[in-house]
């Protein structure tokens, strides 16, 4: 990632995008520097942020309920639903058999009738078993019914590359669901993102795909007093500038935000000022924020774990070329996962997703 960023700023020609295929060094991102949070009073893990958001929304609205595999007695495969069964009972925290198509269909039907289901997938890879209900039953109903059917449902769970679980369990679905009209697609990075966006998703009248990251659940982030208020929610469709800069714009989401921040911090020591934009929302996409940043820095890099072809980065690059081409001083650049199914071996897995620094 660093090599590509340096080339983007200093090269007058087309910079290389071969960074993905090289042996790369994983550097744990630093979460303490450069991000600004208003009146930070404590730190909170992403796991606890999601748990508290669910708890507060279930307390505020009796129509909200949680359904999925192991969400009750086991308290969630990743403990996101910890304590909710004891507090709200089995009618609102519903353990299901291993049948994504079944419980997703039940959830969509419940949303048709005015309830607000939160459907947990143990991993979003398993959402493929339920993709007919997510897209054909949930996403299209409002439009096809001329607004008569509202589907207030949230589909949530871990998305993207995990660790050592192979190709069937390590894939990013942001581009898949982000291409479908009728869905809203969110991808939080920090605890404040997770808490504010999940609350907004549960309150929203439309179906929301909520893409968490398994490797971020245990990470702690500063969280403001404002974000700890039970009324807190973040606006859907608004990106956040995590780090301001003037030489190059880095647009990214989810776990890659941390990597991009650390890369920007390293580059700052070399005199390169990188602006890092945390998308937060994949659909709707905050095109005005992206284009405004590019018109200031005149260069664009996108960073994502997903596949390069038809990816989120490809859509962002197309948007900038369409709306801000005359402001670009260099070709747009995409950094993404390798165009291969995720390898199982740890060394190959590291080579298949973006890293901060080369060997």
In the block, residue with structure tokens 């897209």: 135
CA–CA gap between residue 90 and residue 88 (Å, rounded): 7
Helices assigned H by DSSP within the chain = 2-10, 46-60, 84-88, 100-112, 131-132, 141-144, 174-178, 191-203, 256-268, 287-297, 312-324, 346-352
**What's residue 295's pLDDT?**
98
pLDDT in tens, 266-283: 999 999 999 999 999 999
pLDDT in tens, 215-262: 999 999 999 999 999 999 999 999 999 999 999 999 999 999 999 999
Q: Which residues contact 36 (CB under 8 A, 6 or more apart)?
A: none
Of 13 and 257, the one with more pLDDT: 257
How does residue 164 score in pLDDT terms, banded at 50, 70 and 90? Answer: confident
**What's residue 174's pLDDT?**
97
What residues are labeled active site?
100, 169
Quick one: which of 201, 213, 196 has its CA closest to 52?
A: 196
Pairing of strands 208-212, 184-186: parallel
Q: What is the 3-state secondary structure (H, E, C) of 145-190?
A: CCCCCCCCCEEEEECECCCCCCHHHCECCHHHHHCCCCCEEECCCC
Instruction: Answer whether residue 38 shows pLDDT above 60.
Output: no
CA–CA gap between residue 79 and residue 54 (Å, rounded): 12
**What's residue 3's pLDDT?**
58
**What's residue 6's pLDDT?**
60
**What's residue 166's pLDDT?**
87
pTM: 0.88
How does residue 41 score in pLDDT terms, banded at 50, 70 and 90? Answer: low
Return the percentage of the chain with pLDDT > 90, whole number: 84
Instruction: Answer whether residue 53 shows pLDDT above 90.
Output: yes
Both tokens assigned to 62: 């009796």
* CA distances to 26, 201, 303 from 291, in Å: 30, 25, 16
**Average pLDDT of the chain?**
90
**What's residue 30's pLDDT?**
33
Contact 255, 213 (CB under 8 A): yes
Taking residues 78-85, what's their average pLDDT? 97
**What's residue 162's pLDDT?**
84
Domains assigned to the chain: 42-228 (3.40.50.970), 240-352 (3.40.50.920)
In the block, residue with structure tokens 């208020």: 229
pLDDT in tens, 181-215: 999 999 999 999 999 999 999 999 999 999 999 99
**What's residue 9's pLDDT?**
56
∠ Cα 29 31 35 (to 5°): 125
DSSP 135: I
**What's residue 19's pLDDT?**
33
Beta bridge partners of 40: 224
Quick one: which of 320, 279, 322, 315 has its CA closest to 300?
A: 320
Taking residues 122-145, what's their average pLDDT? 96
Taking residues 103-128, what's their average pLDDT? 97
Tell me the Cα Rg of the chain: 20
∠ Cα 173 285 47 (to 5°): 55
Return the percentage of the chain with pLDDT > 70, whole number: 88
Contact 334, 283 (CB under 8 A): no
Instruction: Answer whether residue 31 shows pLDDT above 70.
Output: no
* CA distances to 17, 57, 215, 311 from 27, in Å: 20, 36, 14, 24
């Amino acid at each position: 990632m660093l090599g590509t960023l340096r080339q983007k700023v200093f090269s007058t020609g087309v910079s290389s995008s071969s960074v993905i295929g090289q042996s790369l060094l994983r550097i744990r991102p630093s979460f303490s520097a450069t991000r600004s949070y208003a009146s930070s009073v404590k730190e909170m893990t992403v796991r606890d942020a999601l748990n508290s958001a669910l708890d507060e929304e279930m307390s505020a609205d009796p129509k909200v309920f949680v359904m999925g595999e192991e969400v009750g007695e086991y308290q969630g495969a990743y403990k996101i639903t910890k304590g909710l069964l004891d507090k709200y009972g089995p009618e609102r925290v519903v353990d299901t058999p291993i049948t994504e198509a079944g419980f997703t269909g039940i959830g969509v039907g419940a949303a048709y009738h005015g309830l607000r289901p939160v459907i947990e997938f143990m991993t979003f890879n398993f959402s493929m078993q339920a993709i007919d209900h997510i897209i054909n039953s949930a996403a299209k109903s409002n439009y096809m019914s001329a607004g008569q059917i509202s589907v207030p449902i949230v589909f949530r769970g871990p998305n993207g590359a995990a660790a050592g679980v192979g190709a069937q369990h390590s894939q990013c679905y942001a581009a898949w669901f982000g291409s479908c009209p009728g869905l809203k697609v969110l991808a939080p990075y920090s605890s404040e993102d997770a808490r504010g966006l999940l609350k907004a998703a549960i309150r929203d009248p439309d179906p929301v795909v909520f893409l968490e990251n398994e490797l971020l659940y245990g990470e702690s982030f500063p969280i403001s007093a404002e974000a700890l208020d039970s009324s807190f929610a973040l606006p859907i469709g608004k990106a956040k500038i995590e780090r301001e800069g003037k030489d190059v714009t880095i647009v990214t989401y989810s776990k890659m935000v941390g990597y991009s921040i650390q890369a920007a911090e390293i580059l700052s020591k070399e005199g390169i000022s990188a602006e890092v934009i945390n998308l937060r929302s994949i659909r709707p996409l905050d095109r005005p924020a992206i284009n405004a940043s590019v018109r200031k820095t005149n260069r664009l890099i996108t960073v994502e774990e997903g596949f390069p072809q038809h990816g989120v980065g490809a859509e962002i690059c197309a948007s900038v070329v369409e709306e801000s081409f005359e402001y670009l001083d260099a070709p747009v650049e995409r950094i993404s996962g390798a165009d291969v199914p995720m390898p199982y071996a740890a060394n190959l897995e590291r080579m298949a997703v973006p890293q901060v620094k080369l060997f």
